[in-house]
Amino acid sequence: MKNNKIALITGGARGIGFGIAMEMAKAGFDLVLCGRKNQNEVESRLIELRNTGVQVIYSKCDISSESDRKKLIKDLKKVPGKINILVNNAGVAPRTRKDIMEITEEDFNWLLNINLTGPCFLTQEIARWMIELKKKNNTFDASIINVSSVSSSMASINRGEYCISKAGITMMTKLFATRLGEYNIPVYEIQPGIIATDMTSAVTEKYDKLFARGIAIQNRWGLPEDVGKAATALAQGYFPYSTGQVIMVDGGLTVSRL
């Protein structure tokens, strides 16, 4: 790859992940994207990104699979250049929206493995690699960006497992920020609000009505590029003294109002 900084974005070929990838590509970052789909299924998205002039690699990887994560790391270490930024974005919604009193252990574990366990242990592996690179070259620029949700602190009883997974990402951010502080590797969290993606397409009517009633200060759906712009600013190093902090991208949804 070029001498550009390289960002690894999980779930980077769809939804919020693609919005992040596009904004980073526009800013000149080379990209490594991973996801559960085969490359031919996301090739059109990869072409869009390459048309910005950056290099893009895609790796099929189920983030919840330990063997897939290890293969991803092994493959990454063969790529010319080093991973400067990890963006933990991959995530899923509940298989079915059920009351917290009705969710099953199977569905809970399935979602937590993708949304929390996978990102945690991928971060552990990437952080170890970043530390090695920092020890060899103290000027090596590295950072980690976790994409969670306003559901980290806002309770939705019909998708409780999702809220729990995002609350876990919030603590994960604090833990890794604390642990990696001595190496000057900042760790950030972005909490998107109601974002227009395929994940939210099934509840469009519901949220259209809520926006009409003023649920957010900025009276519109968030867009993947809104999250992408925030992630790119973090990746570019514009918040060097803000490790462990949360960037809200929610249109004022979580602002307390009278």
pLDDT of 132-186, one tens digit each?
999 999 999 999 999 999 999 999 999 999 999 999 999 999 999 999 999 999 9
Q: Is the pLDDT of residue 3 over 80?
A: no
Is residue 257 situated within a structural domain? no
Is residue 55 situated within a structural domain? yes
Determine the pLDDT at residue 164: 98
Confidence band for 1, pLDDT divided at 50, 70 and 90: low
Confidence band for 202, pLDDT divided at 50, 70 and 90: confident
Lowest mean pLDDT among 77-81, 124-128, 146-150, 235-239: 77-81
Q: What is the CATH number of the domain that holds 14?
A: 3.40.50.720
Number of domains in the chain: 1
Is residue 131 situated within a structural domain? yes
Q: Is the pLDDT of residue 254 over 70?
A: yes
**pTM of the full predicted structure?**
0.96
Is residue 254 situated within a structural domain? no
Angle between helices 15-26 and 39-50 (to 10 degrees): 30
Is residue 80 situated within a structural domain? yes
Is residue 255 situated within a structural domain? no
Is residue 19 situated within a structural domain? yes
Structural domain for 239, as ranges: 6-249
Task: For 100-127, write each residue's pLDDT tens digit.
Answer: 999 999 999 999 999 999 999 999 999 9
Is residue 77 situated within a structural domain? yes
- State the sign of the Cα–Cα–Cα–Cα dihedral 17, 23, 27, 28: positive
Number of H helices, E strands in the chain: 8, 7
Which ranges of the chain would DSSP assign to H, the alpha helix?
15-26, 39-50, 66-76, 105-112, 118-136, 160-180, 204-212, 224-235
Q: 213 CB contacts (<8 Å, ≥6 apart)?
A: none
Lowest mean pLDDT among 71-75, 76-80, 174-178, 191-195: 76-80
Q: Which amino acid is at 3?
A: N
CA distances (Å), origin 182, targets 134, 170, 186? 11, 20, 10
